[in-house]
Amino acid sequence: MSIEAKPTCVVADDHPPVLESISRYLGANGYRVVGRARDGEEAVRLVEAQRPSLALIDLRMPGLGGTAAIRRVVRTTPQTSCLVYSGFGDSALLTEALDAGARGFVLKDAPLETLVRALETVAGGGMYIDPALADVLIRATPGRELGLTVRERDVLRLLADGHSNESIGRELFISPD
């Protein structure tokens, strides 16, 4: 019986201890980290050269930031799915990252098992939003309406629970696209 290999990954973070520990953790969980970057430019170069399945990118890095790097990766290497791994999370950052083409967003203070769950979800074709961020989007702050419909809130809740696009479509009777 053959065991399916975990996807390959480029990890980008400007803090060496985070870069090292996340890369080691992913390696210990069966992911092959094919590149480590300390800024967005280096991340894009590594993704273009290595063509990994996944790119795990911090948002705030010197030079080319994470959102701009994601935009470039999506444009030049569309087979690589991008996930944000950031210590900063609010609805504006989440929206900006998703608009750039990110398929997932995980906060750095989440348990590392959450990161692996996010990677697995995105590698399987789904989207993953850290539950804390989904709550931020769902709860409109007083005086500021996010304009989400009930259906959009349902989709966000299911995404936060790690559901794939297909399972969300089946559950809500909508197209997975």
**Distance from C-alpha of 94 to C-alpha of 112, rounded to nearest angstrom:** 19
| Model confidence pLDDT, tens digit, residues 132-157 | 777 666 554 444 445 556 666 677 77
Please tell me the predicted confidence (pLDDT) of residue 11: 96
Please tell me the predicted confidence (pLDDT) of residue 143: 44
Percentages helix, strand, coil for the chain (3-state, rounded to 5) are 45, 15, 35
Please tell me the predicted confidence (pLDDT) of residue 48: 96
Extract the tokens encoding 134.
Answer: 């989904």
Hunting for tokens 């991340």 — which residue is that? 43
| Model confidence pLDDT, tens digit, residues 82-138 | 999 988 776 777 888 888 999 999 998 888 899 999 999 999 888 888 887 776 665
**Distance from C-alpha of 68 to C-alpha of 135, rounded to nearest angstrom:** 25
Question: pLDDT class for 60, splitting at 50, 70, 90?
Answer: confident
Extract the tokens encoding 171.
Answer: 């559950």
Q: What is the pTM of this model?
A: 0.75
For 104, counting Cβ atoms within 10 Å of its Cβ (0-12 exposed, 13-18 middle, 19+ buried), the class is buried
Contact 62/14 with Cβ under 8 angstroms? Answer: yes
